[in-house]
Chains A and B, each alone.
Chain A
């Protein structure tokens, strides 16, 4: 596709359920990033992939959060046993050279 796509665009779940968020990066982009953005706040770095390897997982807020990537393609961010504080927009970005990050539209997660 022409840009980074994310699905679903909106997700409403009940507290305690698991959710999977998907990111399809721009074809050929080797690096992929996940961020979290709470309402009215800046972006919080979660994890970075170079290919299917994740050299930096330092931003994952707890062991309920995990992510994987298939080759240099799709990535999924999984949140287990969701809590209300997990409610946020989850943004994915990809980059080819590390200079300009191309962001997707985000997934708005609401935990009731």
Chain B
């Protein structure tokens, strides 16, 4: 399984854009990149997933360069409620709908008023 590396923690002021970069140098051809958000005492929650280039949804954007060895989660105009741990993970989406993934230690984002 591809190993991921992320910053352990980040601080940001409210209203700013936050970019969290994840390295996954040994990503495999069939691996997808997925980001999850986890609040204390809760299970992780899916944010966004992509394979290459750029993906955008209502909460975030995901930028993936051509070599796919890294990815950047972009959170626009963060609020205090975005304080959480963000996990970058890579995994294979099998034909049976199974994605085996490796979760790293995540990035703890602290949003400051």
Q: Interface residues, chain A, CB within 8 Å of chain B?
A: 4, 30-31, 35, 41-45, 48, 50, 55-56, 91, 93, 95-106
Contacts and interface: CB of A to CB of B under 8 A. Distances in A.
A102 B46 CA distance: 7
Contacts of A104: 43
Size class of B's contact patch?
20 to 34
A95 B99 contact: yes
B54 interface: no
B97 A48 contact: no
A42 B98 contact: no
Contacts of B105: 41-42
A50 B99 CA distance: 11
24 contacts: A31-B98, A42-B104, A42-B105, A44-B103, A50-B96, A50-B97, A55-B98, A91-B44, A93-B44, A95-B99, A97-B97, A98-B94, A98-B99, A100-B49, A102-B46, A103-B42, A103-B43, A103-B44, A104-B43, A105-B41, A105-B43, A106-B41, A106-B42, A106-B43
